[in-house]
Structure 1
């Protein structure tokens, strides 16, 4: 038997605070710190609590070269090696781990791989989580509990040394940006026209041109992307679009077409919508969600194990979101983006493997409701005029 360590593994000394029982029996109530070793692997959703002996063993085996198992077991003990094998932190040559192979073959930077895997949410309800962690999330209690926030701008020189700049003249684009407000109030009774959905998909996510450069197929879109690779694709949860059945779809960016993935009835679609955005009810009435999903190998094929590759993919999602916001605003629609999403739930619904096709954010758009029930940040009063 030969073995090796999994490809991407972070070992963290995790500290938790707990009641000191011995002190309680002595008549004193106090907390104490407890530190445990935790192993976070890029091919596992859960973390593994490790003993000192297991941490030592992991530090003495390669993730690339195969190690003779008999010698390794003799040195570290059968129980240690068996537990590491059972938890997928070690693999044997004759029974390689399929999940680890996906990460290994995907050319991930190791730290980025672990971060992507373990910062995803599954079955999270933001309402319950916020209340449990911080209590009332309205601003006055937050200020009392957390203290004042950092200032909006951190000055770097004295005010007298600042160089004033001329004000720009107002343009149509300026007026458009003034109306760009995250929508939290969608009209549940007004479906989106299919033509309007098609316009947003084509203008934001569609390929304007394709080209082969020295044998590499590249795309020209409305937004920039590292190497012209455009790895972030649009997957849709459609609920209320005229002429389009509710369901899950993938947008084919070069053919400008929707690929049906799974039909949904209205109740299923509503349930998925709320779970996708982790219980954020103010987004749940949007008639269309667009999930920004990265095909990591499209980027990592070129930028193999690169420390900046994952960051470049995240930037792509931001570019697409802003383009979608601007176009939706121009069309008279409200739009949103949220990172508070249940990526695990979305992956299961769409049939995605997170280290191949990773959910980065959920966006959406639709007609605004006639009344602001949930507060929207509109300081310019461009969308919601001040009451008379």
Structure 2
């Protein structure tokens, strides 16, 4: 069995697939035991003997193997063979190849793109999440007409800056300005398909704008420590959680990921309200979320650079930790990105 093969239970049978083939092999209960035998190298004769078939076992096993090979679920060779004999294949993890093959292969996936798989079954999620109902801080809108550095200058100065000025932490007004310039909801409007859409400073597929930002504050002048949510429509911060062991875990993991010697002043946790995207898009939904995270990273980087703040995007985080700290459902809204933010030294 190829290390890229995936087995799922569907409609009472086991379905076997490979990431690059549209073929699916369905195994009845009598044949399901073959999968265990295929965990190691074997031959049609050995496979038939282990299955105990009364018909010419080698011929029956050969037919089964041909089906599995057509689905891209097998690798061939001998006991000394190596499926990952060259770098092109060895470099891929199964989960990465599956995401790449299906989000970039409409012929493989079948249903692909804006198919509205849940229209008529479920109502689309609202454009804005429900308020948290706790402490709320209204933020001041910056003057967008004030002079600033050019785009070229900002692009050339952009760097990942990990060190913060702990003697003069970032201020509430600075945090508010960065969120306003990068994340605020400029408008909301209805689409013909019945989904409420939004307009923000960065692009989003179908204008669904599923991303939210949760500033986790350690040190910010004018703002208490804790986990906050940015209300993109109202330009305000809502308190999600006071400092807690779960919140502290998020800070500790971010500090380790960014190789910081001290705690970050602010950790911006980017989440996705998955249903906003998955209500409309099929197969490519999660890959779209990741694209949106990338453009938001760049937007925050450029705004932070223009404001002379220290910004550093992180390569990974833990969605379970965020669910525990926020109390949000892992499958409904989960963390998909993090950036460290603070005042710049000098």
Both proteins in one fold, TM over 0.5: yes
Match of 2:199 in 1: 220
1:290 to 244, 263, 268: 268
Q: Deviations over 1:179-199 (max 9, x none)?
A: 110012112332211111111
Match of 2:241 in 1: 262
**What SS is found at the alignment partner of 2:167?**
coil
The Cα of 1:329 is off from its aligned counterpart by 0.8
Q: Do residues 58 (structure 1) and 14 (structure 2) align? A: yes
**What SS is found at the alignment partner of 1:358?**
strand
State whether residues 255 and 264 of structure 2, in contact with CA within 8 Å, keep that contact through their aligned partners in structure 1: no
Q: Do residues 233 (structure 1) and 209 (structure 2) align? A: no
| TM-score of the superposed pair, with normalisation by structure 2 | 0.56
Match of 1:53 in 2: none
1:315 to 287, 291, 302: 291
Q: Do residues 178 (structure 1) and 178 (structure 2) align? A: no
State whether residues 216 and 226 of structure 2, in contact with CA within 8 Å, keep that contact through their aligned partners in structure 1: yes
Instruction: Tell me how many residue pairs correspond in the alignment.
Output: 223
The Cα of 1:271 is off from its aligned counterpart by 4.8
- Partners of 2:311 and 2:304 in 1: CA distance: 6
Q: Any residues of structure 2 matched to 1:31-110 within 5 Å, and which? A: 58-59=14-15
- Partners of 1:244 and 1:193 in 2: CA distance: 8
2:228 to 249, 261, 275: 249
Q: Taking structure 1 as reference, are residues 311 and 242 closer, same or farther at Cα in structure 2, changes over 3 Å only?
A: same
Q: Taking structure 1 as reference, are residues 284 and 210 closer, same or farther at Cα in structure 2, changes over 3 Å only?
A: farther
Unmatched tracts of structure 2, length 5 or more = 17-27, 37-94, 101-148
Q: Deviations over 1:14-51 (max 9, x none)?
A: 49xxxxxxxxxxxxxxxxxxxxx98699xxxxxxxxxx
- Partners of 2:162 and 2:294 in 1: CA distance: 19
- Partners of 1:284 and 1:219 in 2: CA distance: 37
- Partners of 2:326 and 2:215 in 1: CA distance: 10
- Partners of 1:356 and 1:268 in 2: CA distance: 19
Unmatched tracts of structure 1, length 5 or more = 1-11, 16-36, 42-55, 61-71, 81-110, 117-170, 371-388
State whether residues 210 and 272 of structure 2, in contact with CA within 8 Å, keep that contact through their aligned partners in structure 1: yes
The Cα of 1:269 is off from its aligned counterpart by 5.6
Q: Taking structure 1 as reference, are residues 236 and 115 closer, same or farther at Cα in structure 2, changes over 3 Å only?
A: farther
1:365 to 308, 321, 341: 341
Q: Taking structure 1 as reference, are residues 39 and 260 closer, same or farther at Cα in structure 2, changes over 3 Å only?
A: farther
Q: Deviations over 1:123-163 (max 9, x none)?
A: xxxxxxxxxxxxxxxxxxxxxxxxxxxxxxxxxxxxxxxxx
Q: Deviations over 1:204-228 (max 9, x none)?
A: 1110111223343111100110111
Match of 1:164 in 2: none
The Cα of 1:263 is off from its aligned counterpart by 0.5
The Cα of 1:327 is off from its aligned counterpart by 0.8
Match of 1:197 in 2: 175
| TM-score of the superposed pair, with normalisation by structure 1 | 0.50
